[in-house]
Amino acid sequence: MFLIKTRFRSDKNVADAKLKKTSLSTGVFMTVFIQKQPDFRRLGISAGMIENGFKDLLLRMAVVVVSGQGKNGYGVYYDYDRRGQVREVRVESMRRVVVTGMGAITPIGLSVDGFWEAVKNKEIGFAPISCFDTEGFKCRIAAQVKDFVGKNYMDFKAAKRMELFSQYAVAASKEALADSGLDVEKEDPYMVGTAIGSGIGSLQAMEREHRKLLERGPGKINPLFVPLMISNMAAGNVAIQFGLKGKSINVVTACATGTNSIGEAMRAIQYGDADVMLAGGTESSITPVGVAGFTALTALSDSDDPKRCSLPFDKNRSGFVMGEGAGVLVLEELSHAQARGAHIYAELAGYGCTSDAYHITSPAEDGAGAARAMENALGDAGVKPGDVTYINAHGTATHHNDLFETRAIKKVFGDHAYEMKINSTKSMIGHLLGAAGAVEAIACVKELQEGYIHATVGYETPDEELDLNYCREPYTESITYALSNSLGFGGHNASLLFRKWEE
Q: Of 421, 424, 425, 403, which is closest to residue 413 (Cα–Cα)?
A: 421
Does residue 394 have an active-site annotation? Answer: yes
Cα 364-367-373 angle, rounded to 5 deg: 105
> What is the C-alpha separation between 470 and 485, in angstroms, rounded?
14
Domain total in the chain: 2
Mean pLDDT lowest among 19-33, 52-66, 234-248:
19-33
Claim to verify: residue 17 and residue 61 sit in the same structural domain: yes
Task: Please provide the DSSP assignment of 74-136 as one string.
Answer: EEEEEEE-TTS-EEEEEEEEPPPEEEEEEEEEBTTBSSHHHHHHHHHTT----EE--SS--TT
Claim to verify: residue 135 and residue 51 sit in the same structural domain: no
Claim to verify: residue 40 and residue 144 sit in the same structural domain: no
The whole-number pLDDT of residue 309 equals 98
Model confidence at 5, in pLDDT bands (50, 70, 90)?
Answer: very low
Q: Is the pLDDT of residue 34 over 80?
A: no
Model confidence at 290, in pLDDT bands (50, 70, 90)?
Answer: very high
Q: Of 62, 93, 124, which marks where a domain is finished?
A: 93
Q: Of 74, 93, 112, which marks where a domain is finished?
A: 93
Question: Which of the following is catalytic: 336, 394, 454, 492?
Answer: 394
The whole-number pLDDT of residue 190 equals 97
Mean pLDDT lowest among 19-28, 48-57, 344-353, 370-379:
19-28
For 135-167, the pLDDT digits (tens) are 999 999 999 999 999 999 999 999 999 999 999
Mean pLDDT taken over the chain = 87
pTM of this prediction?
0.84
For 485-495, the pLDDT digits (tens) are 999 999 999 99
Residue type, 56: D
Pairing of strands 325-333, 97-105: antiparallel
Answer positive or negative: Cα dihedral of 61, 62, 68, 69: positive
The whole-number pLDDT of residue 48 equals 46
The whole-number pLDDT of residue 80 equals 56
Q: At what angle do helices 368-381 and 399-413 cross, to 10 degrees?
A: 50
Pairing of strands 390-392, 481-488: parallel
Claim to verify: residue 85 and residue 104 sit in the same structural domain: no
The answer to whether the beta carbons of residues 328 and 280 sit under 8 Å apart is: yes
Average pLDDT for 91-97 = 75
The answer to whether the beta carbons of residues 31 and 5 sit under 8 Å apart is: yes
Claim to verify: residue 208 and residue 302 sit in the same structural domain: yes
Average pLDDT for 286-296 = 98
Claim to verify: residue 131 and residue 50 sit in the same structural domain: no
What CA dihedral angle connects 46, 47, 53 and 58, to 10 degrees?
A: 60
Question: Which of the following is catalytic: 139, 255, 309, 353?
Answer: 255
For 346-391, the pLDDT digits (tens) are 999 999 999 999 999 999 999 999 999 999 999 999 999 999 999 9
Burial status of residue 61 (CB atoms within 10 A of its CB: 0-12, 13-18, 19 or more) = buried
Three-state helix/strand/coil letters over 265-278? HHHHHHCCCCCEEE
Report the Cα–Cα distance between both ends of the chain, in Å, rounded.
37
Does residue 359 have an active-site annotation? Answer: no
Q: 238: how many CB neighbours lie within 10 A of its CB?
A: 28
Claim to verify: residue 87 and residue 133 sit in the same structural domain: no
Q: Phi and psi (nearest 5°) for 195?
A: -135, 80
Claim to verify: residue 437 and residue 348 sit in the same structural domain: yes
Does residue 343 have an active-site annotation? Answer: no
* 159 SS3 class: helix
Between residues 33 and 419, the one the model is more confident about? 419
| Residue 415 neighbours by CB under 8 Å, 6+ apart | none
Between residues 454 and 35, the one the model is more confident about? 454
Q: Of 29, 59, 93, which marks where a domain is finished?
A: 93
For 299-336, the pLDDT digits (tens) are 999 999 999 999 999 999 999 999 999 999 999 999 99
Claim to verify: residue 84 and residue 190 sit in the same structural domain: no
Claim to verify: residue 104 and residue 48 sit in the same structural domain: no
The whole-number pLDDT of residue 128 equals 98
Model confidence at 503, in pLDDT bands (50, 70, 90)?
Answer: confident
For 455-473, the pLDDT digits (tens) are 999 999 999 999 999 999 9
> What is the C-alpha separation between 321 and 309, in angstroms, rounded?
7
Claim to verify: residue 134 and residue 11 sit in the same structural domain: no
Write out the residue range of the structural domain in which residue 206 sits.
Answer: 98-500
Claim to verify: residue 112 and residue 87 sit in the same structural domain: no
Q: 462: how many CB neighbours lie within 10 A of its CB?
A: 14
Question: Which of the following is catalytic: 336, 431, 454, 492?
Answer: 431
Q: Is the pLDDT of residue 82 over 50?
A: yes
The CATH number of whichever domain residue 192 belongs to comes to: 3.40.47.10
Chain centroid offset of residue 299 CA = 22
> What is the C-alpha separation between 111 and 117, in angstroms, rounded?
10
> What is the C-alpha separation between 83 and 138, in angstroms, rounded?
65
Q: Is the pLDDT of residue 483 over 50?
A: yes
